[in-house]
């Protein structure tokens, strides 16, 4: 499903991703952990092409971009539609209701009719458990509800892969569960997911694979049980001791 | 002292009241047929120009950026009265003769365009980067994100300062009196030169401007309240 080869990203002088190689099979859930500044967000943003990698190839569901050459904006936007992004700070559109937030992609980007898009948006909002909030504006929703709208908005574009960047880290602890539940449901339905999170419970229960990133490299990867109970790299051990 | 003199002289008082009564209608006509339409037309044209200029400033086409910058800088760096004089008294020298109305509309529109473009540009830049990215992440192009996500939010942010521009414009239109447009203030001048009651007529004109601006500021408050409905925090 996803294949990444030699992915590098620099900001001016600073090299943040130093050559990542990764294959992810369809339907797998991959959790990325790692210390602050290790490049996790940058990696996800490269997959969604919100950042243009400096070098490397990414292919998703048969479409490939080689970033060593110049890439046209058109290719970027069609490539972007293969992935759905869920942001740490939700980034909902504040001037639209929950329903309108979710309809926006289908109507404006996919040019679907309003009627069809509205049905679709209602369907995805129901999926994330927000059928009773369709006409609410973001400021009328709790953080957990806003994040679930964010997930529905991404799902409405019917991406091949869902990307989550610390989706629960801005939430009050009592709201984390409702978002994780939605994510677990998605995982169980066979959605391919790449999730940056420090929620170890989620990693243990839902991930097929855990990747530990540090200093712009993938240091270690493996099944959640292996990574959490028998990490091999010293840096992984250190990091796990710190967060547990 | 002025007041004492008047009150001590019933004939003078009667004359002033008569002048005031007789001049109200022409002044109001000046407001209704000149000041207000001039303000409205110039504001609408200026706003269109302002949006284009703001978009040029934030586009990645260098030449558009430069043209927009020069335009804004030139308008903001020169007095409005001088701009109006160039249009009305200056251009005929090179064979372009404009009547008072078109000169005034062009002058005020260019002025609003420059000032409002800065307001709109600042409003666009004030929308968090995450809003653009959320748009991009669902596959929008820059243009789509601008139209659907950024402009609607920027419009809300820019309404209070744009209302101020509008209210200033109402008062600035009095400068059109200098290029022979018989708007309200010019009428006050004309009437005053026949009866020498300058204080009375200019005060009367000032009161009418004040009433118009007062009504507008009430409307401004209402609009802002309505727009606050969807704003978080
Ligand atoms: N737009 C940018 N311009 C310059 N440097 C950047 C930019 N974005 C990220 N960086 C730098 O890249 C490095 C990696 O950042 P990134 O946000 O990917 O880390 P992260 O692993 O997501 O960290 P965190 O756990 O704190 O979210 C950091 O040193 C950061 O300062
Ligand atoms: Mg991050």
Contact between B213 and B56 (Cβ < 8 Å): no
Tell me which ligand sits closest to the C-alpha of residue A34.
Answer: 1
pLDDT digits (tens, 9 = 90+) for B99-123: 999 999 999 999 999 999 999 999 9
- Residue A52: predicted pLDDT: 92
CATH (domain of B69): 1.10.3720.10
Q: Dihedral of CA A238/A4/A67/A44: which sign?
A: negative
Q: Residue A68 — very low, low, confident or very high, per pLDDT cuts 50/70/90?
A: confident
Q: How many residues does chain A have?
A: 244
Q: Cβ contact (<8 Å) for A139 and B134?
A: no
What count of other Cβ atoms lies within 10 Å of the Cβ of residue A86? 26
Between the CA of A35 and the centroid of ligand 2 the distance, in Å, is: 9
Any chain B CB within 8 A of the CB of A75?
A: no
- The b-or-e profile of A89-104 (16+ CB within 10 A means b, else e) is bbbbbbbbbbbbbbbb
pLDDT digits (tens, 9 = 90+) for B166-176: 999 999 999 99
Residues 169-228 of A with CB under 8 A from B: none
- Residue A201: predicted pLDDT: 87
Averaged pLDDT, A10-34 = 94
B160 has a pLDDT exceeding 70:
yes
Ligand 1 atom closest to the CA of A166, numbered from 1: 27
Ligand 1 atom closest to the CA of A45, numbered from 1: 18
**Ligand 1, atom 4, residue with closest C-alpha:** A11
The number of domains in chain B is: 1
Using CA atoms, how far residue B96 sits from A19, A87, A185, B127, B180, in Å, is 65, 57, 72, 43, 17
Nearest to A166 by CA among A183, A189, A191: A183
Pocket of ligand 1 (CB under 6 A): A 11, 14, 16, 34, 36-42
Chain B closest-CA separation from residue A108 CA (Å): 7
Any chain B CB within 8 A of the CB of A155?
A: no
Q: Give the residue, B224 or A109, on which the prediction is more confident.
A: A109
Confidence (pTM): 0.87
- Residue B6: predicted pLDDT: 75
- Residue A117: predicted pLDDT: 96
Chain B closest-CA separation from residue A238 CA (Å): 33
Output the average pLDDT for chain B.
92
Q: Cβ contact (<8 Å) for B230 and A95?
A: yes
Any chain A CB within 8 A of the CB of B232?
A: yes
Pairing of strands A209-214, A217-222: antiparallel
Using CA atoms, how far residue A206 sits from A224, B177, B194, B195, in Å, is 9, 76, 90, 91
Between CA A114 and CA B76 the distance in angstroms is 44
Query: What 3-state DSSP class applies to A86?
Result: strand
Q: Cβ contact (<8 Å) for A77 and B233?
A: no
Q: Cβ contact (<8 Å) for A157 and B149?
A: no
Between CA B89 and CA B74 the distance in angstroms is 19
Range of weakest confidence among A20-24, A32-36, A141-145, B219-223: B219-223
- The b-or-e profile of A172-188 (16+ CB within 10 A means b, else e) is eeebbebbbebbeebbe
A192 has a pLDDT exceeding 60:
yes
Burial bucket for residue B124 (CB in 10 Å: 0-12, 13-18, 19+): buried
A62 has a pLDDT exceeding 90:
no
- Residue B1: predicted pLDDT: 65
Rg (CA), chain A: 18
Nearest to A66 by CA among A41, A85, A82, A49: A49
B233 has a pLDDT exceeding 70:
no
Nearest to B135 by CA among A182, A77, A42: A77
ipTM: 0.93
Any chain A CB within 8 A of the CB of B153?
A: yes
Contact between A130 and A155 (Cβ < 8 Å): no
Between the CA of A140 and the centroid of ligand 2 the distance, in Å, is: 26
pLDDT digits (tens, 9 = 90+) for A74-83: 889 889 999 9
B215 has a pLDDT exceeding 90:
yes
Nearest to B116 by CA among B47, B216, B64, B170: B47
Between the CA of A43 and the centroid of ligand 1 the distance, in Å, is: 9
Between CA A118 and CA A104 the distance in angstroms is 9
Contact between A44 and A165 (Cβ < 8 Å): yes
Output the average pLDDT for chain A.
93
- Residue B232: predicted pLDDT: 47
Between CA B178 and CA B182 the distance in angstroms is 9
B93 has a pLDDT exceeding 70:
yes
What count of other Cβ atoms lies within 10 Å of the Cβ of residue B134? 27
Q: Cβ contact (<8 Å) for B156 and A85?
A: no
Between CA A120 and CA A114 the distance in angstroms is 10
Nearest to A25 by CA among A199, A209, A157: A209
Share of chain B above pLDDT 70, in %: 97
For A143, phi and psi rounded to 5 degrees? -55, -45
Nearest to A173 by CA among A194, A199, A139, A141: A199
Q: Cβ contact (<8 Å) for B233 and A139?
A: yes
Between CA B42 and CA B191 the distance in angstroms is 27
Domain extent at residue B175? 2-232
Q: Residue A124 — very low, low, confident or very high, per pLDDT cuts 50/70/90?
A: very high
Pick from B140, B142, B230: CB nearest A94 = B230
pLDDT digits (tens, 9 = 90+) for A135-161: 999 999 999 999 999 999 999 999 999
- Residue B3: predicted pLDDT: 75
- Residue B231: predicted pLDDT: 58
Percent composition of chain B: helix, strand, coil (DSSP 3-state, to 5): 90, 0, 10
- Residue B229: predicted pLDDT: 66
Continuous segment of H or E residues that includes residue A5:
strand A2-11
């Amino acid at each position: 499903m996803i294949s990444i080869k030699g992915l590098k990203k620099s900001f001016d002088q600073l090299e943040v991703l130093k050559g990542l190689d990764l294959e992810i099979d369809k339907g797998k859930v991959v959790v990325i952990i790692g210390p602050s500044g290790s490049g996790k967000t940058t990696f996800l943003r490269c997959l969604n092409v919100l950042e243009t990698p400096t070098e490397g190839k990414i292919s998703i569901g048969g479409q490939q971009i080689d970033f060593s050459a110049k890439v046209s904006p058109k290719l970027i936007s069609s490539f972007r539609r293969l992935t759905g992004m869920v942001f740490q700070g939700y980034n909902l559109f504040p001037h639209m209701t929950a329903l309108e937030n979710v309809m926006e992609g289908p109507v404006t980007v996919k040019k679907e009719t309003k009627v069809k898009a509205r049905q679709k948006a209602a369907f995805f909002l129901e999926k994330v458990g927000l059928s009773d909030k369709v006409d609410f504006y973001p400021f009328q929703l709790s953080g957990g509800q806003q994040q679930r709208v964010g997930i529905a908005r991404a799902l409405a574009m019917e991406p091949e892969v869902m990307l989550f960047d610390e989706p629960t880290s801005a939430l009050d602890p009592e709201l984390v569960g409702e978002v994780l539940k939605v994510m677990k449901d998605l995982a169980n339905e066979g959605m391919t997911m790449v999730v940056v999170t420090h929620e170890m419970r989620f990693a243990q229960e839902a991930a097929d694979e855990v990747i530990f990133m540090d200093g712009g490299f993938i240091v270690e990867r493996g099944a959640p049980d292996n990574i959490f109970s028998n990490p091999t790299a010293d840096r992984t051990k250190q990091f796990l001791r710190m967060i547990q | 002292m002025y007041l004492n003199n008047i009150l001590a002289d019933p004939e003078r008082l009667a004359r002033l009241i008569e002048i005031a009564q007789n001049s109200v209608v022409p002044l109001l006509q000046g407001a209704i047929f000149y000041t207000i339409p001039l303000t409205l037309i110039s504001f609408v044209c200026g706003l269109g120009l302002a949006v284009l200029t703001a978009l040029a400033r934030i586009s990645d086409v260098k030449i558009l950026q430069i043209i927009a910058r020069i335009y804004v800088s030139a308008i903001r760096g020169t007095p409005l009265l001088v701009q109006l004089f160039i249009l009305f008294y200056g251009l005929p020298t090179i064979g372009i003769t404009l009547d008072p109305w078109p000169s005034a509309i062009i002058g005020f529109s260019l002025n609003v365009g420059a000032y409002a473009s800065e307001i709109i540009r600042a409003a666009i830049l004030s929308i968090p980067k995450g809003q653009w990215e959320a748009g991009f992440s669902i596959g929008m192009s820059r243009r789509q994100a601008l139209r659907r996500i950024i402009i609607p939010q920027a419009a809300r942010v820019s309404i209070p300062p744009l209302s101020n521009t509008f209210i200033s414009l109402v008062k600035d239109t009095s400068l059109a009196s200098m290029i022979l447009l018989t708007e309200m203030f010019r009428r006050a001048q004309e009437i005053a030169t026949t009866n020498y009651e300058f204080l009375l007529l200019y005060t009367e004109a000032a009161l009418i401007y004040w009433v118009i601006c007062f009504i507008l500021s009430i409307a401004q408050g209402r609009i802002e309240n309505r727009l606050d409905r969807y704003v978080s925090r």
